[in-house]
Chain A
């Protein structure tokens, strides 16, 4: 017993002394470290905006507003030349492989990247640290357009593609996430073209509400019937009956199909007159910037609206017939993936649900 008490006391003393020493050292060093980090930031802003006469912090209230909504942004500075603002510099914090990565991203008023610089990282030396050691990484950001979210590519050529460093995939992406966070803050707060947020059904019906806008109730179909459909249809996951008042308007069918990068989850609305009301791709792991056009290019999902289900749907680069939907160039496999799901839903509808 005495022995145990002794151990507890010794450990407690060591822990307390250690805590005290650490707190003391932290108090002593934290302000110096913070000041140095601040100066390093300013230097980076000036290095990136070589033309600027001065870089100044933006209005504190505005910064607080940005930070409350954007978890990446830590500081925002404006770069001025002859008193005119020529661009904005953001300090962004994101996660890499070994810990936090702090990046400075400088954007021009014309919506292009002026440059980026990784200020701090704790990535694996020799691998993840290539984000700093290989100048081709940072330089691949220069001049890229901010219109679309930036994506990684082993051989960047597109307007929104930056270098993916082999052996440092997670680290390259870590920096990119921070830069994209800064991009979002820039577009939302400093331009007239805010980033379009994902739509949500404001009535609380989830994806069902998006494909049947006029329905006011969704009821899952009979479980036995769903099992029967699922036994014969490998795409279908769930089916809901869309009702307006007492009247059935159609069916909302949830499917899973294979895309380029993995499973694509689609919700298809089919009304009782045999037309598609709307479709929504609700989950996908397609290649950012290419396959993800199935979600980001509104024309794709819109091309399904009002199509006749009688014979199934086909893809076309310029859809005109009432069974043709848009084939996205650069996203052929992903478009097909969605189409499999939708045709699976149509198949279930024609064989089991329509009269």
Chain B
């Protein structure tokens, strides 16, 4: 598969959030503001790319029947190490991203890509897949974060958009608002996707 195809797959055609609907818990929980969404997205890109590389490297020695527990061991170990080293050597990054790292361990997107791609593909392709899928995740969560922040807090990236008199709708920062908006966004994204696919065919 061509590099650009793998990237496009992750970003659009098989977008983790809008198309595959995996890794949703963190999306719903974290996307309260645009900046949180981007931070979470960056963390996912980093961890997903590295875990894909590791799994791909080790794919020949992992027996087929017990691959899932081995994936879990690799991912959990890897994330824990990243957590410790960031905490020790990069305190500034850690204080910004530290709270997202435990959320990544339980993100099923990582396990899904290990299973669906890295286990059957080469190292380079797996790394690109990690970047592509991570970018797709970041894209989706950031859009949701921007919309939620505008509607729920009246600001975007922390910058106030409206005059003082504007009363933001608190529901969009809370969980129910996340579900409602995510549903609408998935609908919009899929409609556009279908139209463009029909057009290219």
Contacts and interface: CB of A to CB of B under 8 A. Distances in A.
Nearest to A13: B61
Interface in B142-201: 173-174
Chain B contact residues: helix, strand, loop or mixed? helix
Chain A contact residues: helix, strand, loop or mixed? helix
A129 B69 CA distance: 33
A10 B63 contact: yes
B42 to A, nearest CB: 13
Interface stretch (B4-12, B25-33, B45-53): B25-33
B74 interface: yes
A139 interface: no
A124 to B, nearest CB: 6
Nearest to A122: B99
Nearest to B65: A7
Interface stretch (B15-23, B79-87, B107-115, B126-134): B79-87
Nearest to B39: A125
Interface stretch (A20-28, A64-72, A73-81): A20-28
Interface residues of A, number: 29
Interface stretch (A29-37, A55-63, A200-208): A29-37
A232 to B, nearest CB: 46
A174 to B, nearest CB: 14
A80 B29 CA distance: 44
Interface size class of B (residues with CB under 8 A): 20 to 34
Contacts of B98: 122
A33 to B, nearest CB: 5
Contacts of B39: 125
B63 A7 contact: yes
A29 B85 CA distance: 6
A39 to B, nearest CB: 10
B29 A18 contact: no
B58 to A, nearest CB: 9
B70 to A, nearest CB: 5
Contacts of A126: 30-33, 36, 173
Interface in A114-128: 121-127
Nearest to B84: A29
B99 A98 contact: yes
B43 to A, nearest CB: 11
A127 B152 CA distance: 12
Contacts of B173: 126-127, 167
Given A98-B99, A125-B30, A7 B66 contact: yes
A36 B77 contact: no
Going nearest first, the 10 A-B pairs with the smallest beta carbon separation are: A126-B32, A29-B88, A32-B88, A18-B77, A29-B84, A125-B36, A7-B66, A25-B81, A14-B73, A125-B30
22 contacts: A10-B63, A10-B70, A11-B69, A14-B73, A18-B76, A21-B77, A22-B80, A22-B81, A25-B84, A29-B85, A29-B88, A36-B88, A36-B91, A98-B102, A99-B102, A122-B102, A125-B36, A125-B99, A126-B33, A127-B29, A127-B32, A167-B174
